[in-house]
Amino acid sequence: MNIRRGREADLPQVLGLIQELAEYEKAPQEVTNTLVDMQRDGFGPEPIFRFFVAEQPDGAIVGIALYYTAYSTWKGRMLFLEDLVVTENQRGTGLGRKLFDAVVAEARQTGANRMKWQVLKWNEPAIGFYKKLGAYLDPEWDNGNLNHEQLHTYVCHPAAEAAVQA
């Protein structure tokens, strides 16, 4: 099994793993991301994410760790691990640990002061995985989100709209 940086040619298999994760999380209808979006956002003129893959000798991708650089006003540069996915028949083989370690190594190499991620409260196997690694799961913070519809129907103050147009 090879752990390596992701390439544009990997994206169809990566999107397949993302859809597999959505099925596992009982929310397949929530995946609106497309291959075109991922090509633009990962390999276009202003890439906003990167990823590592776990690749079998035959070229099949059986795991991903997708991350991006974020910024904390208190801590500075950080990496946010958006998703760590290992296909079901490869779970428990150590691939998740290798992918997680690759993101940790990337955080160190890029000078990040923190690495963050989220895990669903009901996902006991993932919680156990992160605890086994010695990670701290913070109970103090709730996640805030605006979904697609809320984002587009939200009424911004005119001064804020003007600031974006300037």
Structure tokens at 17: 């793993």
The residues assigned a catalytic role are 130
CB atoms closer than 10 angstroms to residue 116:
17
- Side-chain-side CA neighbours of residue 55 (13 Å): 17
Contact 107, 79 (CB under 8 A): yes
- Smallest CA-to-CA distance from 85 within 39, 32, 129, 47 is with 129
Q: What are phi and psi of 78, to 5 degrees?
A: -145, 160
